[in-house]
Amino acid sequence: MVAVKGAPIAVDVVGMPEFLAGIERVEAFAAHNGITIPRSSRLGLYMAVLRGLNSRPIAHRGPIDVGGAIFELRQLIAIVDGLKATPSLSAALRVLLDGRYLTIDAPTHDPARDKQFELYVAARLALGGLRTELAEPDIIVDLCGDRVGIAAKRPRTAPGIKSAIKKGGRQVRRARPRGYLAVDASMYPLPKALVLAVFLDKVDDVQRATAERLRSLVYENFHLLRPRLMEEPERSGTLGMLFHLSMPVMIDGERGFTAAVGEAWLIIPAKLRPVPALVPLLRCLGPNAHILASVPRGSATVTLASEAS
C-alpha cells in the first residue's frame, strides 16, 4: 500500500518478482566487495520502496516514488548482472550510490547518473553477448570483428543535446578511429510531469508509447544531428548514434495503480545506411530497438527498419 494524500491505495509493479530477485543480486555483489548500501542512499531508498510496497505506507509522492524506484533499479540491476566480472565495477558502484533520490530533483551536473547511463549501455551490450571494455571514449565493444568506441552522453537541457554530440564526437576521435554516440533522451527536455511518470490506460501500451515518444523527440531534433550523421561522418569517425529513452509509466485501474518502465532504443546509422554491425546491436538492445532508415523532408514521420526486416 502507498499513502497518497492520506488515503492508502494499491500499487502493483510489473515484474515485481524479477525486481526483488535483482535487488538481492545487487546486495550480494555489494557485500562480496565490502560495499555497504546505506539506507539513506538512493539505492537504499529504492530498495525500501519496493520491499515495503505491500506492507506499509511509503513516500510522500505516492505512485511517483514507485515509478522512480523501478525506473532506476531496472538499470542498476542490469549493470550488476552484466558487468559483475568487471574489476572496476565495485568502485563505480560507490559512485552510483550518490545522487538525488529522483532524477527530477537532481542538478544539471549529475555524475552518479551520468556514470549510470555509461555503465548501463555497456551492461546491455555485455548481456547480449558482446565483448565490452570500460575504456575511453567510455566503452569499447567488439562488433563483427571490429573494435569500436562508444561515448555515452546524457543531456538534460535543450541546448545540451548539441553540446553532448560535439563532446561525444571528440571523445570518440581521441580514443578510437571510429565509433558511436549513445545519447540518453530520458531527461531531454521533458515537462516535469512526464519525467515523473506517464499515465496510460493499459500495460500493453507502455512500450509502444515509449517508442513513439523517442521517435518524435529524435525527429524534432534531427537538424542538430544531421551535420554529424549526414554530412561529415567520414571526417568525424561517427558510425551512428544510439538514442535511448526510459520512462516510468503508471496505469490507472479501478483498484489502484500498476507501475511499469517503458524503454526504447533508436539506432541512427551514419548517412542512414544500415550495416551488418547493427544487427548485434539490435539484438542486445532488446525488442523495442529499431533502426532509423529515413527521415522524409517536411514530414514528422520516420521509417524504421527492425532486426526482422
Looking at residue 207, its pLDDT comes to 94
pLDDT of residue 308: 35
> Which pLDDT belongs to residue 148?
92
Q: Going residue by residue through the chain, which has 309 residues, state the pLDDT in tens, using 9 for 90 and above.
A: 344 444 455 678 999 999 999 999 999 999 999 999 998 888 998 898 888 875 554 444 566 678 888 989 999 999 999 999 999 999 999 998 887 776 666 656 788 888 999 999 999 999 999 999 999 999 999 998 889 999 999 887 766 777 787 788 788 878 777 889 999 988 755 544 445 568 889 999 999 999 998 988 888 877 777 766 666 656 667 888 999 999 888 898 777 788 899 999 999 888 888 788 889 999 999 999 999 877 645 444 444 444 433
* Domains of the chain, residue spans: 2-305
Side-chain half-sphere of 307: how many Cα atoms within 13 Å? 14
pTM exceeds 0.85, yes or no: yes
289-294 vs 179-184, strand pairing mode: unpaired
> Strand, coil or helix: what is 214?
helix
What is the Cα–Cα distance from 141 to 132, expressed in whole angstroms?
4
The long-range contacts involving 219-225, CB below 8 angstroms and separated by at least 24 positions, are: 219/295, 219/300, 219/301, 219/302, 221/161, 222/295, 224/161, 224/162, 224/165, 225/165, 225/268
Please count the other Cβ atoms lying within 10 Å of the Cβ belonging to residue 299.
Answer: 10
Longest dimension (CA), the chain: 60
Long-range contacts of 86-95 (CB under 8 A, 24+ apart): 86/134, 88/134, 89/29, 89/119, 90/29, 90/33, 90/34, 90/35, 92/119, 92/134, 93/29, 93/30, 93/33, 93/35, 94/35
C-alpha R_g of the chain: 19
Tell me the C-alpha distance between 68 and 304, whole Å: 30
Residue type, 254: E
pLDDT at 289: 95
Angle between helices 89-96 and 111-127 (to 10 degrees): 140
Which amino acid belongs to residue 227? P
Place of cell 542538478: 107
Task: Give the residue ranges of DSSP H helices in 4-41.
Answer: 16-32
- Residue 302 is predicted with a pLDDT of 47
